Amino acid sequence: MTARPLRLQLPDPLTRADLPGLYKRTCLELSRDGPRHIEVDVGHVQIDAVALEAIGRLALAARRHGCSVSLQGADDALWELLDLAGLRDVVL
């Protein structure tokens, strides 16, 4: 039986103050029996440095728990920013 993915929707607006809590909650969910994959809905989030940092933190949480991350609703601008930041290879 395959575990269901952890589905996250980044808050809108997303602020830098949201990031530590997002990371902690994600790690808590991943530490329980279950998700081996995180699906992150980014379709409504403003594409900026804060969104990039949020994705990076989620990718770090996933890696530390042996999980993978995919982005739902990412547009070309976000993929280009991820390429520029060197994060393209850590998300699907």
Q: Is residue 32 part of a domain?
A: yes
Enter the tokens of residue 43. 């379709």
Which residues constitute the domain of residue 23?
6-90
Total domains present in the chain? 1
Q: Is residue 21 part of a domain?
A: yes
Q: Specify the 3-state DSSP secondary structure of 10.
A: coil
Please report, for the domain that includes residue 45, its CATH number: 3.30.750.24
pLDDT tens, the chain, 92 aa long? 457 899 999 988 999 999 999 999 999 999 887 678 999 999 999 989 999 999 999 999 999 999 999 999 999 999 999 999 998 888 88
Give the pLDDT score at 2. Answer: 57
Q: Is residue 1 part of a domain?
A: no
Strand 37-41 to 68-72 pairing: parallel
Backbone φ and ψ for 48, nearest 5 degrees, come out as -155, -175
Give the pLDDT score at 32. Answer: 83
